[in-house]
């Protein structure tokens, strides 16, 4: 856990943004593609539809759109950024980093820009890394963007995974906020020994693309869903409780919990285990499915957009994903930096 006592500087979110593709893939569409039903998908996952990027759209394009919105909301010009971190497991290409492609699209020169891979925990990981870099005083304003185009690595012949995933991007501009606001506690972690339950086997250095890897459908997500489910409900409870205590708060003080949007049953079970009414958990998994690194940023932006985040609200962001990884953060929302557009 990151100690809050080492620096007096408070770092928070000045503005959020998000972007999703126009194209909608409904449960009815999936019924025509694999042996599934709307009833099964809704009752087992809570998902009704998800967004799918058109051919020719890369992660950098969605990330750029989300970044522009976040900059406008923060009242920040792209030239003011001195750091870009992009969390993704579906970069445009292995390199250059998607963060560098976003940097180019934004027209920002000579600043560090790098990608970070932590699956669906990526947004929380990137916020945590950016916060510590800003807290050190070396950097002043960071763009953090979580983006994934999981439809490119989803096997639409596999009913157990194809119904779960969607595409999107969520972004945040980080900068200094008044004392007492911003990030109050952060935790990131990983259990590499359990990583095999969720992976994309081929396309890397161990199993480069080959005729066999393509024919064996090894370029698609492989997941042991029930193992991920068990990990998720355990780690959400443990990590959320730890960061809330570290922030000197109780669960009753938390206005909103914004969990990674993977499955409504994981969210309900977590609400139950944490003793928090379900209404305080933000949910949009029904409309977007699991958007991986984009999920928490996209959810936070929708919450802000609909006017449900007030200055001083305490918010918990909690995610889990490939690695297996997790991230949990407590944020005291600061409204001052937003332009209100
Ligand atoms: N439609 C109809 N039936 C299906 C479907 C489907 N789409 N998918 C699976 N089934 C069947 C299975 O074949 C199985 O049938 P059987 O009993 O005859 O063998 C039955 O439904 C039950 O399957 P389970 O896998 O046990 O179903 P479960 O209730 O565990 O739900 C699910 C599966 C939704 C995947 C759940 O385990 C889950 O949400 N896990 C978490 C996944 C997750 O959060 N991943 C996030 C990480 S993603 C990332 O980091 C990139």
Atom of ligand 1 nearest to the CA of 36: 1
**Atom nearest to 119 CA in ligand 1:** 50
Residue range(s) defining the domain that contains residue 191: 1-341
What are 58's two structure tokens? Answer: 């890369």
The rounded distance, in Å, linking the Cα atoms of 119 and 165 is 13
CA-to-CA distance for 283 and 27, rounded, in angstroms? 18
C-alpha span between 19 and 301 (Å, rounded): 10
pLDDT (mean) for 283-307 = 97
pLDDT band for position 341 (50/70/90)? Answer: very low
Would you tell me how many other CB atoms lie within 10 Å of the CB of residue 210? 11
- What pLDDT is stored for residue 263 in this prediction? 97
What's the rounded mean pLDDT across residues 260-283?
97
The count of domains in the chain is 1
Residues 124-135, mean pLDDT to the nearest whole number: 98
Q: Which class for 41: exposed (0-12), middle (13-18), buried (19 or more C-beta within 10 A)?
A: buried
Name the residue with tokens 């009242």: 75
The Å distance, Cα 167 to ligand 1 centre, comes to 19
Index of the ligand 1 atom closest to the CA of residue 160 = 8
Whole-number pLDDT of residue 7: 64
- Whether a cis peptide bond, with omega within 30° of 0, leads into 324 is yes
Radius of gyration of the CA atoms of the chain, in A: 19
Measured by CA distance, the residue closest to atom 10 of ligand 1 is: 160
Task: Output the residue whose Cα is nearest ligand 1's atom 1.
Answer: 36
Whether omega for the bond prior to residue 96 falls within 30 degrees of 0, making it cis, is: yes
Q: Pick the residue whose CA is nearest to atom 21 on ligand 1.
A: 160
pLDDT in tens, 38-66: 999 999 999 999 999 999 999 999 999 99
Residues with CB under 6 A from ligand 1: 36, 40-41, 44-45, 119-120, 159-160, 163, 198, 225-226, 228-229, 232, 262-263, 290, 292, 321-322
Distance 102 CA to ligand 1 centre (A): 35
- What integer pLDDT is reported at residue 338 of this predicted model? 52
In the chain, pLDDT over 90 holds for what percent of residues?
96
Instruction: Please tell me what DSSP assigns to residue 139.
Output: -
CA pair distance 16, 121, nearest whole angstrom: 17
Is pLDDT of 5 > 90?
Answer: no
If pLDDT is split at 50, 70 and 90, which confidence band does 301 have? very high
CATH code for the domain of 221: 3.40.47.10
What is the sign of the dihedral through the CA atoms of 231, 174, 298 and 96? negative
Nearest to 340 by CA among 304, 293, 313: 304
Give the separation between CA 124 and CA 105, rounded to whole angstroms: 24
pLDDT exceeds cutoff 80 at 285: yes
Percentage of residues of the chain with pLDDT beyond 70: 96
- Ligand 1 binding pocket mutation candidate from 27, 29, 36, 44 (most atoms within 8 A of CB): 44
Q: How far is the CA of 269 from the centre of ligand 1 (A)?
A: 16
Q: What is the mean pLDDT of residues 126-146?
A: 97
Ligand 1 atom closest to 121 (CA): 50
**What is the rounded average pLDDT of the residues 177-204?**
97
Among 195, 229, 321, name the best residue to mutate to test ligand 1's pocket (greatest count of ligand atoms within 8 A of Cβ): 229
Distance between CA atoms of 145 and 132, rounded to whole angstroms? 16
pTM (predicted TM-score): 0.95
**CA separation for the pair 307, 2 (Å, rounded):** 30
CA angle, residues 301, 97, 153, in degrees to nearest 5: 70
Paired with 87 in beta bridges are 116, 146
Mean pLDDT rounded to a whole number for the chain? 95
Per-residue pLDDT tens over the stretch 202-260 = 999 999 999 999 999 999 999 999 999 999 999 999 999 999 999 999 999 999 999 99
> Who contacts 237 (Cβ-Cβ below 8 Å, separation ≥6)?
270, 273, 274
Residue pLDDT, tens place only, 151-166: 999 999 999 999 999 9
Going by alpha carbons, the residue nearest to atom 30 of ligand 1 is 226
Q: What's the pLDDT at 339? A: 45
Which stretch of DSSP H or E encloses residue 73?
Answer: helix 59-74
Active site residues: 120, 260, 290
Q: Nearest residue CA, atom 20 of ligand 1?
A: 160
Q: What is the pLDDT of residue 336?
A: 73
Provide the pLDDT confidence category of residue 186 given band limits of 50, 70 and 90. Answer: very high
Q: Which residue CA neighbors atom 29 of ligand 1 most closely? A: 44
| Burial of residue 175, with CB atoms counted within 10 A of its CB: 0-12 exposed, 13-18 middle, 19 or more buried | buried
């Amino acid at each position: 856990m990151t100690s809050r006592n080492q620096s007096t500087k408070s770092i928070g979110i000045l503005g959020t943004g998000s972007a999703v593709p126009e194209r909608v893939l409904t449960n009815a569409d999936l019924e025509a593609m694999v042996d599934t039903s709307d009833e099964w998908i809704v009752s087992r996952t809570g998902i009704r539809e998800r967004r799918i990027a058109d051919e020719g759209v890369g992660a950098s394009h969605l990330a750029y759109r989300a970044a522009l919105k976040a900059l406008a909301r923060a009242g920040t010009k792209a030239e003011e950024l001195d750091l870009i971190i992009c969390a993704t497991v579906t970069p445009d290409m292995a390199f250059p980093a998607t963060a560098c492609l976003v940097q180019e699209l934004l027209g920002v020169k000579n600043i560090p820009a790098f990608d970070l891979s932590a699956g669906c925990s990526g947004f929380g990981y990137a916020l945590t890394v950016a916060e510590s870099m800003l807290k050190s005083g070396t950097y002043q304003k960071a763009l953090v963007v979580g983006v994934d185009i999981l439809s490119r690595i989803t096997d639409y012949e596999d009913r157990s995974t194809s119904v779960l995933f969607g595409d999107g991007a969520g972004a945040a501009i980080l900068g200094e906020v008044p004392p007492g606001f911003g990030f109050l506690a952060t935790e990131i972690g990983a259990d590499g020994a359990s990583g095999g339950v969720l992976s994309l086997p081929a396309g890397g250095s161990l199993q480069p693309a080959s005729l066999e890897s393509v024919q064996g459908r090894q370029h698609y997500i492989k997941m042991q869903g029930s193992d991920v489910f068990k990990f998720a409900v355990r780690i959400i409870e443990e990590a959320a409780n730890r960061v809330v205590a570290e922030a000197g708060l109780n669960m009753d003080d938390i206005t909103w919990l914004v969990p990674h949007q993977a499955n409504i049953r994981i969210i309900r079970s977590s609400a139950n285990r944490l003793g928090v009414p379900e209404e305080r958990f933000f949910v949009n998994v029904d409309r977007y499915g699991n958007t991986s690194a984009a999920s928490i940023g996209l959810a936070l932006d929708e919450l802000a957009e609909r006017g449900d985040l007030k200055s001083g609200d305490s918010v918990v962001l909690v995610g889990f994903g490939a690695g297996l990884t997790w991230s949990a953060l407590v944020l005291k929302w600061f409204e001052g930096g937003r332009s209100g557009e």
